[in-house]
Amino acid sequence: MHAPFDLMVDITEAPSLDAKYEIFSSFIEAEYGYVGVNYVLFTDTRSLQGIHSNHVSKRSGLPDEWREIYQRNNYARDDLGMRMGALAHQPILQSSFYRLLHEEKLPQI
């Protein structure tokens, strides 16, 4: 098990966003078994247009074909997970997202 402090030090000292993401996604997979990890930096969360147009994302665990279909069909427009990610201030597990969706407690924009 990777100690949380050591993990944060490793991420902080990594020389690039790609290196930081690799450390984080490797930890999530090794520690929790998650193979699909999305990391997104949102630069404008004032509106839906801002959320969808102003972000930088890193993804792993999803086939390239799935990403191409997602982008081609503009699924981000209706992606409640992306909206929640933009408004949250902590990592979001898929199970938490679906629980909040079921309870109708997702953040509103």
How does pLDDT run across 34-52, given as a tens digit for each residue?
777 777 778 888 888 888 8
pTM beyond cutoff 0.95:
no
Q: Can you list the pairs that 86-92 forms with residues at least 24 positions away whose Cβ atoms lie under 8 Å?
A: 86/40, 86/42, 86/45, 86/51, 86/55, 87/45
Residue 63 clears pLDDT 90, i.e. is over it: no
Residue extents of the structural domains in the chain: 1-35, 40-109
The per-residue pLDDT of the chain, averaged, comes to 80
Write out the two tokens for 13.
């000292």
Average pLDDT on 100-108 reads 77
Question: Quick one: pLDDT band at residue 2, thresholds 50, 70, 90?
Answer: low
Q: Is the dihedral of CA 27, 80, 96, 108 positive or negative?
A: positive
Q: Evaluate if residue 107 carries a pLDDT over 70.
A: no
* Distance between CA atoms of residues 45 and 87, nearest Å: 7
- Per-residue pLDDT, 60: 75
